[in-house]
A and B are shown apart, each in its own frame.
Chain A
Amino acid sequence: MSITTNNASSAPCRETTDYTNPIIHIDPSMCTGCRRCAGVCPVDAIEGQPGEPQTVNADRCVICGQCVQICSVYASDWADSSPWVADSRRQERLRERDMPADIGEPLFAAYYSCSLKKVTDMMAKPGQFRIVQCAPAIRVSIAEEFGMPFGTLTPGKMAAALRRLGFDRVYDTNFGADVTIMEEGTELIRRVTEGGPLPMFTSCCPAWVRFAEIEYPDLLDHLSSCKSPMQMLGSLVKTYGAQLDEVEPASIYSVAIMPCTCKQFECDRPEMESDGYRDVDEVLTTRELAYWIKESGIDFMDLPDEEFDSPLGRYSGAGSIFGVTGGVMEAAIRTGYELLTNEKLPKLQLDFVRGEEGVRVAEVQVGELQLKVAVVAGLQHAYGLLDRVQAGECDYHFIEVMGCPAGCISGGGQPKLMLEKHRIEAYRARKSSIYGHDAGLQVRKSHENPHIIKLYDEFLGEPLGHVSHHLLHTTFQKRGPGKQSRSCNVLSKEGTNNSIQ
């Protein structure tokens, strides 16, 4: 990674110019300046001297939340003041972070803004049709917040919990993932056959999209125009879903439970609306959902297994593997292969995309076409590949990029681990749990999901058609002059290498 250092413009650039409510924060009264966060930040957005409190450069930060995951400096109020003072300081911090007052967990120097209060306030308002969707990576991690082993699979309990919390419909982002495959797969086929900008990049990870907008704005037309599965499902909820339930789109309050700290930023983007309605109104992370469940006194592990609601909650195995690195690629190949060749895919499990390296490449014979694909996990690994695309030296067709080290299962909003040595173990367990979930499902290809077939028959028409274009596709924006913007004096990376590679 080459870093242009230009001291002339190295003034601290911590003003937020393009998102007004920063999501990632460092509490200066707690930060010890150990800079472990800087060691995992893929874009050098953490600035400051070692031993001094650090700041997040909001213009550069892609909101992946990896700094929040690694920070181990907690408030040790109990140790150094009277219990009463300690408690009032803790309450003050909880208020500052918008966290529920009765949460018992330790507070760390690096944190993200909590949206739970906003959601519970809205839930209390009468006359609303409350809808929730849940990302693929939550069902393999949320049980960890209740003391269960890494990777415990609990889709049924999660659906039950969300119903107890007052949602009228419990839908699933996995359905959105199936729609994404239909749209993105078709877009890829069209670009390959009609000569669109190649390689085509996935666009489901908002941290990656923001990264491209900041660091490589000249490559934005290489990104698929697809919205993320969360946004796709969000816009379907207020259109197709509203029609099926015979409710007014205006009365729908739509919440998404995500493993990712950047999803709130994505749902707030001005482009993410259809016909004047926000696709998704609010996002909660895995940890925030766990706070909510605990606050409501629900005994999570004791809940019965319940089904997601139909049709926007019925998914294929392909939709469920979006939660791991390589999953989007595998899901896309399962569908793309069959749509292009009209033949059955000989083997469903595509091991060549399931590795753990930062960049993995493979070639797949799809009919006549020798499809060249790459999978990137962790944005720090994206620079080299993108530089090659910029130089016109990259002849891949399709590239999946996920911002976090092991995909969404390692997202910034996922359960935070106390011991660093557990990280690999947790990621592996969540990953194998997701693959196990896929293997156990009857329908494992997006285009064979009967509810997807019905959605296209009844509502969307065809992939990339007029309705799809209006509801499911989007545009991106330049957020800077590109890599030259990396002119703030970047301290050398120190501390640990915490990627799982």
Chain B
Amino acid sequence: MSGARNTLNRPTSRMGAADRTSAVASSFVVADAGHCIGCKACELACFAVHSQANGIGASVGTVSVPVVPKVYVVRAGDTYVPVQCRHCENAPCAHACPVQAIRQENGVVMIDEELCIGCTSCVLACPFGAIEVSTVYREGRAMTQPGLTDRAAHKPLPRTAAGKCDLCADTNGGQPACVEACPNDVLRLAIVESDLLPERRREVFFPRL
């Protein structure tokens, strides 16, 4: 099958799922922009693994909700590049969130959908455009926001929440879904320990330089 064996991703003592829980590590998915072909397989994979609550199986036929991923492939001229949360060490989104829905767990910046009020402060604060506020779906249906109605249509409005890359926190080990799905080895999970020397950091971020 796919030649998607990500050579950069071979787990080492420093990289790999097991290490992601170590408190000193901060990790995020880096992209090698020049190699992205814009196939959006990463987006689809991201959506697929985050949609269990909507009864979504392996086949696209089981999908009944809009595909909203947590990684976005953008095009700039002739270049495609996937953009997602950098899990900033001093996360500006967390500073901006008025209800403390954003927290850091083991180096992963997480948004609690239940707490989120959809105010988009984090969207504005994120320097990368990695956060999207969208309708929350459960069991294939749009959730509604109690107390919020469309006056003209007398219909309750959907409940929305911010979403962004959570490094596939729920997938119990293994590589993040986008990294696994990319057919062109564009994506890679970089794990950086905060006491790492600057040169080593550079190696972790830009191994091809």
B65, A72: Cβ atoms under 8 Å? no
B55 and chain A: residue at smallest CB distance: A147
Q: Which of A76, A287, A291, A417 has the most CB of B within 10 A?
A: A76
The answer to whether the Cβ of A282 comes within 8 Å of any Cβ in the partner chain is no
B3, A497: Cβ atoms under 8 Å? yes
Cβ–Cβ < 8 Å partners of B78 in chain A? 51
CB contact between B183 and one of A32, A290, A426, A495 (< 8 Å): that residue: A495
The answer to whether the Cβ of A125 comes within 8 Å of any Cβ in the partner chain is no
Please report the total number of B residues contacting A with Cβ < 8 Å. Answer: 40
The answer to whether the Cβ of B145 comes within 8 Å of any Cβ in the partner chain is no
Number of A-B contacts (CB under 8 A): 133
CB contact between B44 and one of A72, A287, A424, A498 (< 8 Å): that residue: A72
The answer to whether the Cβ of B100 comes within 8 Å of any Cβ in the partner chain is no
CB distance from A427 to the nearest CB of B (A): 9
The answer to whether the Cβ of A483 comes within 8 Å of any Cβ in the partner chain is no
CB contact between B60 and one of A34, A105, A500 (< 8 Å): that residue: A105
CB contact between A78 and one of B63, B68, B177, B184 (< 8 Å): that residue: B68
The answer to whether the Cβ of B72 comes within 8 Å of any Cβ in the partner chain is yes
The answer to whether the Cβ of B97 comes within 8 Å of any Cβ in the partner chain is no
Which residues of A151-177 have CB atoms within 8 Å of chain B's CB atoms?
Answer: none
A106, B60: Cβ atoms under 8 Å? yes
Q: List 6 A-B contacts (CB under 8 A).
A: A72-B40, A104-B140, A419-B44, A420-B2, A420-B41, A496-B3
The answer to whether the Cβ of A33 comes within 8 Å of any Cβ in the partner chain is yes
B38, A73: Cβ atoms under 8 Å? yes
The answer to whether the Cβ of B156 comes within 8 Å of any Cβ in the partner chain is no
The answer to whether the Cβ of B64 comes within 8 Å of any Cβ in the partner chain is yes
Please report the total number of A residues contacting B with Cβ < 8 Å. Answer: 43
CB contact between A419 and one of B48, B65, B66 (< 8 Å): that residue: B48
CB contact between A496 and one of B4, B40, B61, B72 (< 8 Å): that residue: B4
CB contact between A104 and one of B59, B64, B80, B181 (< 8 Å): that residue: B64
CB contact between A420 and one of B4, B40, B55, B56 (< 8 Å): that residue: B4
CB distance from A82 to the nearest CB of B (A): 13
The answer to whether the Cβ of B45 comes within 8 Å of any Cβ in the partner chain is yes
Cβ–Cβ < 8 Å partners of B72 in chain A? 79
CB contact between B39 and one of A73, A417, A424 (< 8 Å): that residue: A73
Given contacts A424-B1, A496-B183, A497-B3, contact A34 B39 (CB under 8 A): yes
CB distance from A420 to the nearest CB of B (A): 5
CB contact between B132 and one of A79, A422, A423, A495 (< 8 Å): that residue: A79
CB distance from B131 to the nearest CB of A (A): 12
Cβ–Cβ < 8 Å partners of B75 in chain A? 32
Given contacts A78-B66, A78-B67, A496-B4, contact A72 B58 (CB under 8 A): no
The answer to whether the Cβ of A298 comes within 8 Å of any Cβ in the partner chain is no
Complex alpha-carbon distance, A50 and B56, angstroms: 32
CB distance from A38 to the nearest CB of B (A): 11
Interface string of A127-160 (1 = CB under 8 A from B): 0000000000000000011111010000000000
B45, A105: Cβ atoms under 8 Å? no
A417, B58: Cβ atoms under 8 Å? yes
Interface string of A419-438 (1 = CB under 8 A from B): 11111101000000000000
The answer to whether the Cβ of A36 comes within 8 Å of any Cβ in the partner chain is yes
The answer to whether the Cβ of B96 comes within 8 Å of any Cβ in the partner chain is no
